[in-house]
Amino acid sequence: MTGLQHNPGVPAAPTSPAVAGDLAWRDLAVALAAGWRDFLAMPRFGLFFGGVYVLAGLGIGWATVSGGELTWLIPAIAGFPLVAPFIAVGLYEASRRRAAGEPLTWRAVLGALKGHGDDQILSMGVIVFVAFSFWMIVAHAIFAVFMAESGMGGESLDALLTAPGLAMLAVGSAVGGIMAFAFYAMTVISLPLLVERKVDFLTAIITSLKVMRRNFAVMLGWAAIIAALLFVAMLPGFLGLLIALPVLGHATWHLYVRVVE
């Protein structure tokens, strides 16, 4: 009896690309150096996408403060980096084109958001929006649990210095950290992969998780570097993101090239 034969009339299920399992700490330094070189070589793209990110951050901050809900400023800022991978899609395309010697035009770089005409990157954008919205819902729930009986609302940051406020910050930081890491694991490789190859977003997410599993310590280190640089860059009124976001975006592309075969 012969084995099962593939029916040519039925498309084969997509398989995730092979990934390397030998990522080293030195590769992170190499990726950052390559990201810096990309930024210097084509700063117009980096400053544009960095500027979009800065304006988005300032808009979130303004909406929160003007609404009188100052205590929501912290979860909004904490969840803000969740949208960075999607904004960096154009940076991935710019790095790809520079390495391939292809023309670097605004139309091509901005067109990367459309993916390969299959809406897979836009689907990831929806996931990004849902993740940010879910985090804000969770943050509201944590606030309600710790602050409801204290009689303190969201009109003053002084509430955060009380015992319930400090407990809320501790629990919120732990929960937010877990959520942020899970989202990072899903997107760090999947979005560059969707820029380069015509695959569906589920295959891209599986590939990203596979990279995390096979290179956990180094990829965890990369997550820490991203978090630290973005946090520091947000301190001067978000303006540091004009440099940090594009360098990290370009660097993530080079790390993707290193790890996805």
pLDDT tens per residue, range 23-42: 999 999 999 999 999 999 99
Residue 6 lies in a domain: no
Mean pLDDT confidence for 170-187: 87
Domain region containing 142: 25-259
CA-based max dimension of the chain: 76
The confidence score (pLDDT) of residue 150 equals: 54
Residue 10 lies in a domain: no
Mean pLDDT confidence for 222-239: 88
If one compares 45 and 172, the residue with the highest pLDDT of the two is 45
3-class secondary structure, 137: helix
What confidence category does residue 214 fall into, taking pLDDT thresholds of 50, 70 and 90?
Answer: very high
Mean pLDDT confidence for 61-80: 69
Residue 20 lies in a domain: no
The confidence score (pLDDT) of residue 5 equals: 41
Q: 224 exposed, middle or buried (CB, 10 Å; 0-12, 13-18, 19+)?
A: exposed
The confidence score (pLDDT) of residue 12 equals: 45
Residue 9 lies in a domain: no
The confidence score (pLDDT) of residue 35 equals: 97
Residue 178 lies in a domain: yes
Residue 130 lies in a domain: yes
Q: 36 exposed, middle or buried (CB, 10 Å; 0-12, 13-18, 19+)?
A: middle
If one compares 20 and 84, the residue with the highest pLDDT of the two is 20
For the entire predicted model, the pTM comes to 0.84
Residue 15 lies in a domain: no
**How many domains does the structure of the chain reveal?**
1
CA gap 35, 170 in Å, rounded? 34
